[in-house]
Structure 1
């Protein structure tokens, strides 16, 4: 699969602070990538470096085939890394015409892009009358005017209400379905899990995980258990290599699986060992649980 962006051993220092620490990952064409991490993890700095607005300290990155200069590559990139900045007393259409002039794009693209973000009926409304969600959607339309090969979004749903968040996420999915590669930075696990195919997890500038979202959450899951003889239950679980971590919280026992197992087979296994369960729930780990597990393993 064709590479869009390759990052190798990228480091950025602000004095004694290391914002990005020896970061490497590759973005392939046609996928939706999320850079996930809490505030201060280096997400925005990484995007700033590849967009030539922040100077790197060490390492390198290359666009497309590696022989394209960053200046030329950015002509094929759409990006929103700050709050939408349009003229408040101009209409949406007038603002986008201005962007077309700057980018050297035909005005004919405006209707198409406004339709994608659901603002065509409001094209003659002044920007100052737009809600925050509408402003963000107009910014996405603006970033799409040059038909970019990759769309880069920094915290695209930040500050929006639930309806605005849903609208932005649906637009991102729609754009991705048309074949545009997307890279978005987010501190929201829910956002990455619902929108992205791939994720890079950062903490304090260090990469903790890079790969497919479904592979990150493809653990065999766990059972939540209760019984009248908790001690015997824990002893059986700990003596079997079918289970990894066993966690006891009050009267609830959580047993993480090392291999796939159906709940009825598990129940029979315990019954044959003389243990009768009063509570049995099988669950899969969410991205949030995987993320917490990753970050808990890191020293502060």
Structure 2
């Protein structure tokens, strides 16, 4: 799979503060990546470095095959790293025409991009009449005008109401489905879990995890179980080497795994021990739970 961006031991210091600490990861074409971390974890600084608006202290990054200068590479990048800033009394279409002039691209795709972000019917409305969510969507349209290979978004839903958040997420999914690679920074676990295929988790500038969202094996997950003999079942699970904590929730037993056990094998073992299960579901912990474990492990 084609490489879009590679970071190698990237570090940025602001005086005594290390904002980005020896950060390395790779962005591959066609995926939606989330840089996830609390506010102040180094997400925006990392994006600023690769977009040439923040100077790195040490380390390297390279766009595409590494043989393209950053200046040339950025012509194939669309980015929103600040609040949308357009002329308030110009219309949406007029503002995008101005962006086309600045980017050196033809304005023939303005209506196409406005349609993607759901603003085609407001193309002749002044920017000053737009809600915050509409302003953010117009900014995304402007970032798409050069048909970028990668779209970079810094906290794209910040400050939006639930409807605005939903609209931005759906737009991201549409853009990704068209083959554009997306890199977004967010402190919202829910946002990353719903739209991203891959995640880079950082705290205090340090990478804690990088890879597919569904392969975040911080632990082995847990089973939800029920039977007509829950007290016997709980004792059996407690004595089993494959389980750690056992909890009771809403008449179900929650058994946390310390090793990988599949549902079929567990069902067979329990049956052979003389108990019949009436409910058995294996689950992974949510991204939020895994994120908290990762960050706690750093303490």
* TM-score of the two chains, using structure 2 as the length reference: 0.90
SS across alignment from 1:295: helix
The structure-2 alpha-carbon separation of the partners of 1:130 and 1:275, relative to structure 1 and needing over 3 Å to count, comes to same
* Corresponding position of 2:64: 64
Matches within 5 A, 1:114-263: 114-216=114-216, 220-224=220-224, 229=231, 233=234, 236-243=236-243, 245-248=244-247, 254-257=254-257, 258-262=259-263
Q: Is the 8 A contact 2:42 2:202 kept in 1?
A: yes
* Corresponding position of 1:26: 26
5+ residue gaps in structure 2?
Answer: none
SS across alignment from 2:202: strand
Deviation of 1:193 after TM superposition, in Å, equals 1.1
* Corresponding position of 1:80: 80
Q: Give distance in 2, aligned partners of 1:297 and 1:252.
A: 29
Q: Give distance in 1, aligned partners of 2:78 and 2:164.
A: 21
Q: Is the 8 A contact 2:218 2:293 kept in 1?
A: no
Deviation of 1:70 after TM superposition, in Å, equals 0.8
SS across alignment from 2:56: coil
Q: Is the 8 A contact 1:116 1:171 kept in 2?
A: yes
Q: Give distance in 2, aligned partners of 1:280 and 1:198.
A: 29
5+ residue gaps in structure 1?
Answer: none
* Corresponding position of 2:9: 9
SS across alignment from 2:107: coil
Q: Is the 8 A contact 2:234 2:246 kept in 1?
A: no
Q: Is the 8 A contact 2:3 2:29 kept in 1?
A: yes
SS across alignment from 2:256: strand
SS across alignment from 2:147: coil
Deviation of 1:77 after TM superposition, in Å, equals 0.6
What are the Cα deviations for residues 191-244 of structure 1, in whole angstroms up to 9, with x where unaligned? 1111111100001111000001121269653124687648x835x43543333x
The structure-2 alpha-carbon separation of the partners of 1:218 and 1:20, relative to structure 1 and needing over 3 Å to count, comes to closer
* Corresponding position of 1:96: 96
CA RMSD of aligned residues (A): 2.4
Q: Is the 8 A contact 2:11 2:23 kept in 1?
A: yes
